[in-house]
Amino acid sequence: MAEPKDPSRLQLNDQGRLRHFLTLDGLDKATLTEILDTADSFIEVGARSIKKVPLLRGKTVVNLFFEASTRTRSTFELAAKRLSADVLNLNISTSATSKGESLSDTLQNLEAMASDMFVVRHSQSGAPHFIAESVTPNVSIINAGDGRHAHPTQAMLDMLTIRQHKGQFEGLKVAIVGDILHSRVARSQIRALNTLGVAEVRVIAPNTLLPVDIESLGANVFSTMQEGLDSVDVIIMLRLQKERMEGALLPSEHEFYELYGLTTEKLKYAKPDAIVMHPGPINRGVEIESAVADGPQSVILNQVTNGIAVRMAVMSMAMSGQTAAISAATSE
Protein backbone atom coordinates (compact mmCIF):
# COMPACT_ATOMS: atom_id res chain seq x y z
CA MET A 1 0.00 0.00 0.00
CA ALA A 2 1.58 3.27 -1.13
CA GLU A 3 2.18 6.14 1.24
CA PRO A 4 -0.30 9.02 0.79
CA LYS A 5 0.84 11.86 -1.47
CA ASP A 6 -1.64 14.57 -0.49
CA PRO A 7 -3.14 13.84 2.94
CA SER A 8 -4.08 17.49 3.53
CA ARG A 9 -6.77 17.15 0.88
CA LEU A 10 -8.55 14.67 3.14
CA GLN A 11 -7.60 15.93 6.59
CA LEU A 12 -9.22 19.36 6.52
CA ASN A 13 -12.76 20.42 5.67
CA ASP A 14 -13.62 23.44 3.51
CA GLN A 15 -13.29 25.71 6.55
CA GLY A 16 -9.76 24.42 7.25
CA ARG A 17 -10.85 22.47 10.33
CA LEU A 18 -9.66 18.97 11.13
CA ARG A 19 -11.97 16.17 9.93
CA HIS A 20 -9.47 13.28 9.80
CA PHE A 21 -6.10 13.03 11.55
CA LEU A 22 -3.84 10.95 9.31
CA THR A 23 -0.43 12.64 9.39
CA LEU A 24 1.22 15.89 10.39
CA ASP A 25 2.22 16.52 6.78
CA GLY A 26 0.31 19.48 5.42
CA LEU A 27 -0.81 20.78 8.83
CA ASP A 28 0.41 24.25 9.80
CA LYS A 29 1.68 25.63 13.09
CA ALA A 30 -1.72 27.12 13.98
CA THR A 31 -3.43 23.70 13.70
CA LEU A 32 -0.76 21.94 15.78
CA THR A 33 -0.94 24.70 18.39
CA GLU A 34 -4.73 24.37 18.51
CA ILE A 35 -4.34 20.64 19.21
CA LEU A 36 -1.89 21.39 22.05
CA ASP A 37 -4.10 24.12 23.51
CA THR A 38 -7.18 21.87 23.35
CA ALA A 39 -5.24 19.04 24.99
CA ASP A 40 -4.16 21.42 27.75
CA SER A 41 -7.82 22.12 28.49
CA PHE A 42 -8.43 18.37 28.92
CA ILE A 43 -5.55 17.74 31.34
CA GLU A 44 -7.64 18.66 34.38
CA VAL A 45 -10.40 16.23 33.39
CA GLY A 46 -8.14 13.38 34.51
CA ALA A 47 -7.93 14.90 37.99
CA ARG A 48 -11.69 15.07 38.53
CA SER A 49 -13.66 12.56 40.58
CA ILE A 50 -15.89 12.06 37.51
CA LYS A 51 -13.52 11.97 34.54
CA LYS A 52 -16.00 12.76 31.78
CA VAL A 53 -17.09 15.57 29.49
CA PRO A 54 -20.11 15.25 27.16
CA LEU A 55 -18.50 16.31 23.86
CA LEU A 56 -18.93 12.94 22.09
CA ARG A 57 -22.06 11.77 23.89
CA GLY A 58 -24.12 9.61 21.53
CA LYS A 59 -21.15 9.02 19.18
CA THR A 60 -19.60 5.61 18.48
CA VAL A 61 -15.83 5.21 18.21
CA VAL A 62 -14.39 1.98 16.78
CA ASN A 63 -10.80 1.02 17.66
CA LEU A 64 -9.77 -0.77 14.47
CA PHE A 65 -6.36 -2.24 15.30
CA PHE A 66 -4.81 -4.47 12.64
CA GLU A 67 -1.55 -4.38 14.59
CA ALA A 68 -1.12 -5.23 18.26
CA SER A 69 -0.87 -2.41 20.76
CA THR A 70 -1.66 -2.11 24.44
CA ARG A 71 -0.68 1.44 25.39
CA THR A 72 -1.99 3.23 22.29
CA ARG A 73 -5.29 1.35 22.17
CA SER A 74 -5.95 1.74 25.89
CA THR A 75 -5.28 5.50 25.81
CA PHE A 76 -7.56 5.94 22.78
CA GLU A 77 -10.25 3.94 24.58
CA LEU A 78 -9.90 6.03 27.74
CA ALA A 79 -9.92 9.24 25.69
CA ALA A 80 -13.13 8.28 23.89
CA LYS A 81 -14.83 7.25 27.13
CA ARG A 82 -13.82 10.48 28.86
CA LEU A 83 -15.48 12.28 25.95
CA SER A 84 -18.61 10.17 26.73
CA ALA A 85 -18.49 8.20 23.45
CA ASP A 86 -19.51 4.56 23.09
CA VAL A 87 -16.42 2.48 22.25
CA LEU A 88 -16.09 -0.74 20.24
CA ASN A 89 -12.71 -2.52 20.32
CA LEU A 90 -12.40 -4.72 17.24
CA ASN A 91 -9.98 -7.62 17.56
CA ILE A 92 -8.87 -8.01 13.96
CA SER A 93 -7.11 -11.35 14.55
CA THR A 94 -10.46 -12.97 15.33
CA SER A 95 -12.64 -10.75 13.13
CA ALA A 96 -14.21 -11.33 9.74
CA THR A 97 -11.11 -10.10 7.90
CA SER A 98 -9.23 -13.18 9.13
CA LYS A 99 -12.04 -15.32 7.74
CA GLY A 100 -11.69 -14.02 4.21
CA GLU A 101 -13.89 -10.92 4.30
CA SER A 102 -12.34 -7.89 2.55
CA LEU A 103 -11.42 -4.72 4.39
CA SER A 104 -14.04 -2.81 2.38
CA ASP A 105 -16.77 -5.22 3.43
CA THR A 106 -15.73 -4.93 7.08
CA LEU A 107 -15.79 -1.12 6.86
CA GLN A 108 -19.22 -1.11 5.22
CA ASN A 109 -20.62 -3.31 7.98
CA LEU A 110 -19.19 -1.02 10.65
CA GLU A 111 -20.61 2.02 8.84
CA ALA A 112 -24.00 0.27 8.77
CA MET A 113 -23.82 0.17 12.58
CA ALA A 114 -23.80 4.00 12.55
CA SER A 115 -20.18 4.32 13.64
CA ASP A 116 -18.84 7.88 13.77
CA MET A 117 -15.08 7.42 14.07
CA PHE A 118 -12.49 4.75 13.29
CA VAL A 119 -9.18 4.78 15.14
CA VAL A 120 -6.91 2.79 12.81
CA ARG A 121 -3.58 1.11 13.50
CA HIS A 122 -2.07 -0.86 10.61
CA SER A 123 1.28 -2.38 9.64
CA GLN A 124 1.03 -0.98 6.10
CA SER A 125 1.94 2.64 5.38
CA GLY A 126 -1.00 4.59 4.01
CA ALA A 127 -3.74 2.27 5.32
CA PRO A 128 -5.59 4.99 7.32
CA HIS A 129 -5.41 7.27 4.25
CA PHE A 130 -6.94 4.49 2.11
CA ILE A 131 -9.70 3.98 4.67
CA ALA A 132 -10.38 7.74 4.84
CA GLU A 133 -10.89 7.76 1.08
CA SER A 134 -13.17 4.71 1.26
CA VAL A 135 -15.54 5.47 4.13
CA THR A 136 -18.75 7.46 3.97
CA PRO A 137 -18.45 11.24 4.59
CA ASN A 138 -19.88 11.03 8.11
CA VAL A 139 -17.01 8.93 9.53
CA SER A 140 -13.75 10.42 10.86
CA ILE A 141 -10.47 8.48 10.67
CA ILE A 142 -7.71 8.85 13.26
CA ASN A 143 -4.31 7.32 12.51
CA ALA A 144 -2.98 5.35 15.50
CA GLY A 145 0.18 4.37 13.60
CA ASP A 146 0.70 3.06 10.07
CA GLY A 147 3.76 1.09 8.95
CA ARG A 148 6.87 3.27 8.89
CA HIS A 149 4.85 6.28 7.78
CA ALA A 150 3.33 8.22 10.69
CA HIS A 151 2.16 8.18 14.30
CA PRO A 152 0.74 11.70 14.63
CA THR A 153 -0.95 11.45 18.04
CA GLN A 154 2.27 10.10 19.61
CA ALA A 155 4.21 13.01 18.15
CA MET A 156 1.65 15.51 19.46
CA LEU A 157 1.68 14.11 22.99
CA ASP A 158 5.46 14.42 22.84
CA MET A 159 5.09 18.05 21.73
CA LEU A 160 2.69 18.71 24.62
CA THR A 161 5.21 17.22 27.06
CA ILE A 162 8.01 19.38 25.66
CA ARG A 163 5.89 22.53 25.88
CA GLN A 164 4.90 21.77 29.47
CA HIS A 165 8.53 21.46 30.55
CA LYS A 166 10.23 24.01 28.27
CA GLY A 167 7.49 26.60 27.81
CA GLN A 168 8.10 27.18 24.11
CA PHE A 169 9.65 25.54 21.06
CA GLU A 170 11.68 28.46 19.72
CA GLY A 171 15.40 28.07 20.41
CA LEU A 172 15.23 24.41 21.47
CA LYS A 173 17.65 21.77 20.24
CA VAL A 174 16.11 18.31 20.18
CA ALA A 175 17.92 14.99 19.66
CA ILE A 176 16.12 11.81 18.54
CA VAL A 177 18.21 8.70 19.20
CA GLY A 178 18.08 5.10 18.03
CA ASP A 179 16.14 3.18 15.41
CA ILE A 180 15.16 6.05 13.12
CA LEU A 181 14.83 3.77 10.09
CA HIS A 182 11.82 1.82 11.33
CA SER A 183 10.23 4.58 13.42
CA ARG A 184 6.98 6.19 12.28
CA VAL A 185 7.16 8.12 15.55
CA ALA A 186 10.47 9.77 14.57
CA ARG A 187 9.09 10.91 11.22
CA SER A 188 6.09 12.52 12.88
CA GLN A 189 8.24 14.05 15.62
CA ILE A 190 10.62 15.64 13.08
CA ARG A 191 7.67 17.11 11.17
CA ALA A 192 6.02 18.46 14.34
CA LEU A 193 9.22 19.93 15.79
CA ASN A 194 10.08 21.78 12.58
CA THR A 195 6.53 23.05 12.12
CA LEU A 196 6.46 24.34 15.69
CA GLY A 197 9.73 26.19 15.18
CA VAL A 198 12.53 24.52 17.15
CA ALA A 199 16.08 25.71 16.45
CA GLU A 200 17.41 22.29 15.45
CA VAL A 201 16.34 18.66 15.17
CA ARG A 202 19.14 16.09 15.43
CA VAL A 203 19.06 12.36 14.84
CA ILE A 204 21.70 10.08 16.37
CA ALA A 205 22.02 6.52 15.08
CA PRO A 206 24.31 4.08 13.29
CA ASN A 207 24.13 4.36 9.49
CA THR A 208 22.26 1.05 9.26
CA LEU A 209 19.37 2.54 11.27
CA LEU A 210 19.02 5.77 9.28
CA PRO A 211 16.65 6.25 6.31
CA VAL A 212 18.35 7.62 3.20
CA ASP A 213 16.09 10.70 3.08
CA ILE A 214 16.42 11.71 6.72
CA GLU A 215 18.13 15.06 6.10
CA SER A 216 15.44 16.06 3.59
CA LEU A 217 12.89 15.67 6.40
CA GLY A 218 14.62 18.46 8.32
CA ALA A 219 17.08 16.73 10.65
CA ASN A 220 20.84 16.93 11.09
CA VAL A 221 22.61 13.58 11.37
CA PHE A 222 25.13 12.66 14.07
CA SER A 223 26.89 9.32 14.49
CA THR A 224 28.07 9.67 18.10
CA MET A 225 26.24 10.49 21.29
CA GLN A 226 28.92 12.92 22.46
CA GLU A 227 28.56 15.14 19.39
CA GLY A 228 24.82 14.67 18.96
CA LEU A 229 23.83 15.39 22.57
CA ASP A 230 26.06 18.43 22.94
CA SER A 231 23.97 21.32 24.33
CA VAL A 232 20.58 19.75 23.52
CA ASP A 233 17.44 20.62 25.52
CA VAL A 234 15.41 17.49 24.79
CA ILE A 235 16.46 13.86 24.25
CA ILE A 236 13.96 11.45 22.71
CA MET A 237 15.04 7.80 22.85
CA LEU A 238 13.41 5.29 20.48
CA ARG A 239 12.74 1.59 20.85
CA LEU A 240 14.77 -0.85 18.77
CA GLN A 241 12.08 -2.35 16.54
CA LYS A 242 13.57 -5.80 16.11
CA GLU A 243 10.30 -7.16 14.69
CA ARG A 244 10.69 -4.84 11.67
CA MET A 245 14.38 -5.45 11.05
CA GLU A 246 15.53 -7.51 8.09
CA GLY A 247 19.07 -8.80 8.14
CA ALA A 248 21.90 -7.95 10.51
CA LEU A 249 21.41 -4.21 11.04
CA LEU A 250 23.05 -4.39 14.47
CA PRO A 251 26.10 -6.36 15.64
CA SER A 252 24.45 -6.89 19.05
CA GLU A 253 22.16 -5.19 21.54
CA HIS A 254 25.09 -4.91 23.92
CA GLU A 255 27.18 -3.00 21.38
CA PHE A 256 24.22 -0.75 20.55
CA TYR A 257 23.82 0.07 24.25
CA GLU A 258 27.52 0.81 24.61
CA LEU A 259 27.44 3.27 21.69
CA TYR A 260 23.88 4.65 21.65
CA GLY A 261 22.19 3.69 24.92
CA LEU A 262 21.41 6.67 27.15
CA THR A 263 23.34 6.32 30.39
CA THR A 264 23.93 8.69 33.27
CA GLU A 265 27.36 9.50 31.83
CA LYS A 266 26.10 10.20 28.30
CA LEU A 267 23.29 12.36 29.66
CA LYS A 268 25.97 14.78 30.90
CA TYR A 269 26.71 15.74 27.27
CA ALA A 270 23.33 17.50 27.12
CA LYS A 271 22.29 20.65 28.95
CA PRO A 272 21.91 20.19 32.74
CA ASP A 273 18.16 20.79 32.51
CA ALA A 274 17.60 18.57 29.45
CA ILE A 275 14.53 16.34 29.62
CA VAL A 276 14.53 12.67 28.63
CA MET A 277 11.64 11.12 26.70
CA HIS A 278 10.73 7.71 25.27
CA PRO A 279 7.51 6.75 23.41
CA GLY A 280 7.62 3.26 24.95
CA PRO A 281 7.70 0.43 25.53
CA ILE A 282 11.18 0.82 27.04
CA ASN A 283 13.91 -1.79 26.65
CA ARG A 284 15.98 -1.09 29.75
CA GLY A 285 19.65 -1.79 29.30
CA VAL A 286 19.28 -1.64 25.52
CA GLU A 287 18.14 1.92 24.76
CA ILE A 288 18.26 3.52 28.19
CA GLU A 289 19.70 2.93 31.63
CA SER A 290 17.14 2.43 34.40
CA ALA A 291 18.76 5.19 36.46
CA VAL A 292 18.00 7.61 33.60
CA ALA A 293 14.52 6.27 32.77
CA ASP A 294 13.50 6.63 36.43
CA GLY A 295 15.63 9.69 37.15
CA PRO A 296 14.75 13.34 37.77
CA GLN A 297 15.21 14.38 34.12
CA SER A 298 12.86 11.70 32.81
CA VAL A 299 9.37 12.83 31.74
CA ILE A 300 8.33 9.45 30.31
CA LEU A 301 5.34 9.00 32.62
CA ASN A 302 4.21 12.55 31.78
CA GLN A 303 4.08 11.43 28.14
CA VAL A 304 1.71 8.59 29.03
CA THR A 305 -0.61 10.96 30.93
CA ASN A 306 -0.53 13.48 28.10
CA GLY A 307 -1.45 10.79 25.60
CA ILE A 308 -5.02 10.69 26.88
CA ALA A 309 -5.45 14.47 26.73
CA VAL A 310 -3.98 14.76 23.21
CA ARG A 311 -6.17 11.96 21.90
CA MET A 312 -9.21 13.58 23.48
CA ALA A 313 -8.25 16.81 21.70
CA VAL A 314 -7.78 15.20 18.30
CA MET A 315 -10.98 13.15 18.53
CA SER A 316 -13.10 16.10 19.63
CA MET A 317 -11.63 18.40 16.97
CA ALA A 318 -12.06 15.84 14.18
CA MET A 319 -15.64 15.12 15.18
CA SER A 320 -16.40 18.83 15.32
CA GLY A 321 -14.85 19.34 11.88
CA GLN A 322 -16.72 16.36 10.48
CA THR A 323 -20.04 17.67 11.81
CA ALA A 324 -19.35 21.08 10.28
CA ALA A 325 -18.52 19.46 6.91
CA ILE A 326 -21.74 17.42 6.94
CA SER A 327 -23.81 20.47 7.89
CA ALA A 328 -22.28 22.50 5.07
CA ALA A 329 -22.92 19.70 2.57
CA THR A 330 -26.55 19.20 3.56
CA SER A 331 -27.31 22.93 3.48
CA GLU A 332 -26.13 23.34 -0.12
Numbered residues of the known binding site for L-aspartate: 99, 184, 239
Q: Phi-psi bin for 35: left (phi > 0), alpha (psi -120 to 50), beta?
A: alpha
207/209 Cα distance (integer angstroms): 5
Residues tagged in the binding site annotation for carbamoyl phosphate: 71-72, 121, 151, 154, 280-281
Cβ-proximal residues to 11 (8 Å cutoff; 6+ apart), any chain: 18, 19, 20, 21, 22, 23, 26, 27
Rounded CA separation 109/112 (Å)? 5
End-to-end CA distance of the chain: 35
CA 145, CA 119: separation in Å to the nearest integer?
9
Return the H-helix or E-strand segment holding 254.
Answer: helix 253-260
- Residue numbering of the annotated binding site: 71-72, 99, 121, 151, 154, 184, 239, 280-281
Q: Are strands 200-204 and 220-222 parallel, antiparallel or unpaired?
A: parallel
